[in-house]
Structure 1
Amino acid sequence: MSESDMFSHAHDEMDECVQALARVHAFLHNELVEADADMIRHHLHACERCMENFEIESTITEMIQRSQPQQSAPSTLTARIQTMRISRTG
Structure 2
Amino acid sequence: MSEAAHGHDEMDECVAALTQVHAFLHGEMPDADADAIRHHLHACERCMENFEIEATINEMIKRAHRAVHPPETLVSRVMSLRIKRT
For this structure pair, what is the TM-score category when the shorter chain's length is used for normalisation? 0.7 to 0.9
| Runs of at least 4 residues off by over 3 Å | none
Q: Name the structure where helix makes up a greater proportion of residues.
A: 1
- Whether 2:47 is the aligned partner of 1:50: answer yes
Q: Give, in whole Å, the separation in 2 of the partners of 1:66 and 1:26.
A: 19
In structure 2, the partner of 1:70 is: 67
For 1:1-90, what aligned pairs fall within 5 Å after superposition? 5=3, 7-70=4-67
Deviations for 1:6-65, whole angstroms, at most 9, x for unmatched residues? x32011100000000000000000001000000000000000000000000000000000
Max radius of gyration: which structure? 2
Q: Which runs of 5+ in 1 are unaligned?
A: 72-90
Cα RMSD of the aligned pairs, angstroms, is: 1.4
1:8 aligned partner, one-letter code:
A
Identity of aligned residues (%): 70
TM-score by length of structure 1 reads 0.70
TM-score by length of structure 2 reads 0.73
Count of aligned pairs: 67
Q: Give, in whole Å, the separation in 2 of the partners of 1:69 and 1:32.
A: 24
